[in-house]
A and B are shown apart, each in its own frame.
Chain A
Amino acid sequence: MKRLAACLLVATLGLAGASAQPQEGRDRPIMAAGIAQDRIEVEVNYSDSRIVVFAATPQPENPTSGLAVALVGPQVPQRMIRRTGAGDQRIEFVAAPLVFAIGAEKQVEESVPSEVMVQAGLNAQSSALPRLDQLLSPELDAWRAAFVNLKMEQGLYTFGRTEFRHFDGGLRRATIDLPQNAPPGEYTVRAVAFRDGRMVGESRQTFTLARSGLDATLFDLSRQHGLVYGFVAVLFGVLVGGIAAWVGRK
């Protein structure tokens, strides 16, 4: 198993927002940050990867001061079907992350209300955005809950699997596992600082999960040159079967 590490250095998280006590939502302070590795390549021997985030939380001596880290992406339209006695029902999320991994320190889980987590964009269900005409559907919450459950079954949505380590001076290191079946695309890593049940700072970093080697060649061939891929697939089967038949005669 090959492990790749993406280290996101979030050096100044929370310092600017520590005294401002901003409102949640649009007033979130945006922190400066640096990325050590912004590209992870997926090859045939790829199995998983780890995202490592370093962050300094404001006022670490405050027992409610802590960090939540989320790995989100790529945002794509997704459809769901519900089987009912009267036939199948469908819903389309115009944008929902294919991967959603979140972890928070214990003091954050205990002190931050769920609505604050929703406002901070750290709630998986709220990240699935329905079409406008389905926004007021009374069954939207049920659809979203089922969507998250199905994604959890696929291993693409994970909760509470983040490891946190504390260092001197309030520095934290958070490690998130990137699911082994995470599809290639643009991902965002968010580190959000909380204190007294409120959000006090945030940093966002993006990285690209890309295909390479044989993995990329086969995928691109199948999508861009379907006819060639069809011939290659048949020839491959004939070749392997032919070799096996030849070996069997020996």
Chain B
Amino acid sequence: MLIHLPIAQVAVDPLILIAIGMLVGFLSGLFGVGGGFLLTPLLIFYGIPAAVAASTQANQILATSIAGVSAHWRDRQVDTRLGTLMLVGGLAGSTIGVGVFSILKAFGVVDATISVLYIIFLSVIGGLMAWESVNALGKAGGGDPGRRTRLRAWMRGLPMKRRFPRSGLYISIIPPIAIGFFVGVLAAVLGVGGGFILAPAMVYLLGVPTRVMVGTSLFQIIFLTAYVTFLQATFNGTVDLVLAAVLMVGGVIGARYGAIAGRRLKAAQLRLLLALLVLAIAGRLVYELYVEPQPEYRLEEAR
């Protein structure tokens, strides 16, 4: 059976879309990442126009994040106070990041530079995470990284300290806002949600426990994807609600099972898998940039 998508204007098999949604939802529930980095290329590969795929994935991730965060909420592993601070920083950062992107674009040659920086960034983060989590697994416990590390020593002298009981932290509000801001700029410049950058930053820079990180990251993604969905639907008209509905069916199921699977893993195992995911994204970018042939001609997409 095929269904016709009103905005994408293509006929698709809903079962395939449900399977794609389920896979991405599972990763979202497991790691606390949105999954747009995986969903968008999968949809384009399946024949959905790029503009519709990029816009609609935000709507699907909105639903799966709500479903995913509810499971973490029940386990009291969502730090809304910390998430809100990072969200404020993220919204400001993404707004400024859009401006930065326009300036970089005006100078030309921005695409390749961004891609190379992105690959280096992801490889370093993924590599360090993998190294740390493998070491942690080797030791007894395989829990969260130590709290009083040299990496976080600089934070202790900062003013405006607040308690974050859910994360068990007493830190300045400046680092969460700054991290949210930095990820927001990166997300806008690189055109991704930024969940897989935010997640390791929360664990290693702020010292958020891995399981609280997953729930808090999803909490923040809800608001970011709602914002993106609204903007894309209102100003570009590229959100396909029929496509989103079909993806959501698979996504919310996958997110539930992802959250359940996460409970059965040790924190270090979870970090190791996230590290492998980050490295896989870097690998995909290397492939796109240096291996995959770029078409000489393309049609300019009409709005």
Q: Which residues of A contact B (CB under 8 A)?
A: 1, 42-48, 76, 78-83, 87, 90, 143, 146-147, 149-150, 180-181, 183, 211, 214-216, 218-219, 222-223, 226-227, 229-234, 236-238, 240-242, 244-245, 248-249
Cross-chain pairs A/B with CB under 8 angstroms, 13 sampled: A42-B4, A43-B4, A80-B300, A82-B296, A180-B2, A180-B10, A214-B242, A226-B235, A234-B59, A240-B248, A245-B66, A248-B70, A249-B74
Q: What number of B residues sit within 8 Å (CB to CB) of A?
A: 50
Supplied contacts A215-B4, A245-B67, 7 more A-B pairs, CB within 8 Å: A79-B300, A180-B2, A180-B11, A218-B242, A219-B6, A241-B66, A244-B252
CB of A150 within 8 A of CB of B66, answer no
CB of B63 within 8 A of CB of A240, answer yes
Within the complex, what minimum Cβ distance (angstroms) separates A216 from chain B?
8
Within the complex, what minimum Cβ distance (angstroms) separates B261 from chain A?
14
Within the complex, what minimum Cβ distance (angstroms) separates A41 from chain B?
11
B64 interface residue per 8 A CB criterion: yes
Q: Which one, B35-43, B146-154, B188-196, B222-230, is touching chain A?
A: B222-230
B106 interface residue per 8 A CB criterion: no
Name the CB-closest residue of B to A245: B70
CB of B300 within 8 A of CB of A232, answer no
The answer to whether residues A244 and B66 also contact, given A229-B233, A233-B233 and a CB cut-off of 8 A, is: yes
The residue that B296 contacts in the complex, of A44, A76, A83, with Cβ under 8 A, is A83
CB of A240 within 8 A of CB of B65, answer no
B62 interface residue per 8 A CB criterion: yes
Q: In the complex, A147→B300 CA distance in Å?
A: 11
CB of A222 within 8 A of CB of B62, answer no
B135 interface residue per 8 A CB criterion: no
The answer to whether residues A231 and B241 also contact, given A83-B296, A219-B6, A248-B70 and a CB cut-off of 8 A, is: no
Question: Mostly helix, strand, loop or mixed at chain B's interface?
Answer: helix
CB of B7 within 8 A of CB of A230, answer no
A-B contacts counted at CB < 8 A amount to: 162
CB of A248 within 8 A of CB of B66, answer no
The answer to whether residues A81 and B300 also contact, given A180-B10, A244-B67 and a CB cut-off of 8 A, is: yes
The residue that B59 contacts in the complex, of A48, A222, A236, A248, with Cβ under 8 A, is A236
Within the complex, what minimum Cβ distance (angstroms) separates A243 from chain B?
8
Residues of A within 8 A of B230 (CB): 230-231, 233-234
CB of B59 within 8 A of CB of A181, answer no
The answer to whether residues A238 and B256 also contact, given A150-B297, A230-B231, A233-B244 and a CB cut-off of 8 A, is: no
CB of B11 within 8 A of CB of A46, answer yes
